[in-house]
Structure 1
Amino acid sequence: MSLKDEIKELENNIEELKIFSKEKNMDFSVQISALEKELEEKYKSFEENEMDSWSRIQISRDPKRPYTLDYINELTQDFVELHGDRLSKDDHAIVGGLATVDDYKIMIIGHQKGRDIEENIYRNFGMASPEGYRKALRLMRMAERFKLPILTLIDTAGAYPGIEAEEKGQGEAIAKNLSEMFGLKVPIVSVVIGEGGSGGALGIGVTDSILMLENSVYSVISPEGCASILYNDASKAPEAAKNLRMDAISLKNLGIIDEIIEEPLGGAHRNLPEVAKNLKEAVLKEFKKIDKWSLKELLERRYEKYRQIGEFSENILEEQEEESK
């Protein structure tokens, strides 16, 4: 049995024991504590010896992983959700609204997935349609009007690729967001909290500072899609994931993201309050840093940031190859 399978079995045993303890009204806290301690050791061993890009992708897709609304509930008690794009309808794959974080008034916008089939259908599995990106842009313009900084939480496999979305201008809606975000006259910070996939992520991702949770991923294409195109074999997704360098550590080394936010062993779902605290501290630190820039400096820095993304250096790639050995 692989270490990953051992971890899965331990997690199932702990969950079953907790349920049994509750149903029978019996105290198994000692046994549960012992199993949880063993699980921590397994996680530690896995992260030290077997963690790679493909493993982090699996964690980023874990259905127990916290989503945008989970972080909003942890970060603030006064979130006021705003709905609709004022053109067509309200896209439930994008949520956004006004909130206060430690006396810092901000606009929060993010992708939202569902926990079960019914909710995932309602949220369209976190894949936004044109209405979602137009809603996001409407809220960003509102934030600019009231001089509020913007926080975006990215977590999507990509924009919705359906025929209806294409008919309603999916590409144009994303392109419009990219264009307008470059000129927004307020600070913008983004955090990749799970999957950051393709234009669906970039539609709310042109920001002054890009942060990633430790086990999140960010890429122009999914590893399965890349493997299908390059190798004509989707089963080679783990190899594609390694070559895409889509994990937080690789992207930090390449200079694409600014900071990595630490997660507990096993992923963010194992301790939401701790991860939310780390996320809040990192985001507020970035906002306070950006606040010191003049408007001219803000826009120039944002422009230069994205001009520099994509610069190629064989030395960096060689260094990363050495580090991965």
Structure 2
Amino acid sequence: MSSTESGIIDDTLQGRIIAIPESRELDIFAGLLTRRGAKVLRCPLVSILDAPDPKPVIAWVNQFCIGECDDLILMTGEGLRRLLSSISQHAPTLRPLFVDELARVRKFVRGPKPAKALRELGLSAEVIVSPATTPGVIEALCNAGDLHGRVIGVQHYGTEPNLLLMDFLREAGAKVREVYPYVYADDSADLEVLNLIDRLAANEVDAIAFTSQSQVERLFKLAQKAQREVELLSGLRQTMIAAVGPVTAASLEEHGITVDAVPLGTYFLKPLTQLLVRHLLPQAAHAVTGTETRTIICRAGASRLSRESLDARKAGCSRPTSGCSFFRNCRTLSDQ
């Protein structure tokens, strides 16, 4: 069988064992790696489910459909798709009204994925936030003019409120309407995750690629529960670590793990795969390419963004103006 017939692109990752704790796009990511010769160690850590109680979601949709919101912040593409799914299941007659309101309101989207979800409806975002982080969203809102008195819908992810964003909006005088359209379910078998920790500690894994903050938190939560934190930290510190974006990288660094590769500005699976190839090629140890240099800068930015996020409420950003210190900090990081 030829390489084309077998789906093999090249052998740049031949013999490498790469762990991917990914669920929603696991098959896509695994395919990108196996077609380059890698052996993929699958360990889904998180799955996404509709909100267990649809009533608050539909109540929010009803208010949105009658024109309550001036602006809408979409934090994830999955969030918009789950809203549409909930409407289809529980209030199908609201769908055309919901799409009409989506077209009317000013839409801030956190990065390219919610922008893509809007395009699937034939709509576009007024503001695509970059970097795709909470500080990035706040910077975009700082640039958007006076928010006082505006009613702003916020689509959260998971069940935890984004306190940094909520505090900023309320201090800016906005009225916030929050919705939680989905939850994360820790559905992986504990033994499967513990097996991953064992293999990391035994230095049997060449690289591990994280694609969400929730994966990181689930892994460390289970290690703590099983009293395997020492083994996990030891294993991760001897393994090449990749993260899909600065938020995921910051979560790892908060646990004391140095991240070796983060795509700069393009937080997708293909750029992440390309970075894995560059770092795992034999000659990678002898030459640092321009892309890898930018990756190191991005890692530093992710860490600093995390620290700025934690201190944001002390930054004096109580009004959405370009003069606030948090805005200046965001701009300084984005210029690097």
Which has a greater percent of helix?
1
TM-score range, shorter chain: 0.3 to 0.5
- Give TM-score, length-normalised by structure 1: 0.35
- Give TM-score, length-normalised by structure 2: 0.34
Q: Which has the higher contact order (CA 8 A, sep 6+)?
A: 2
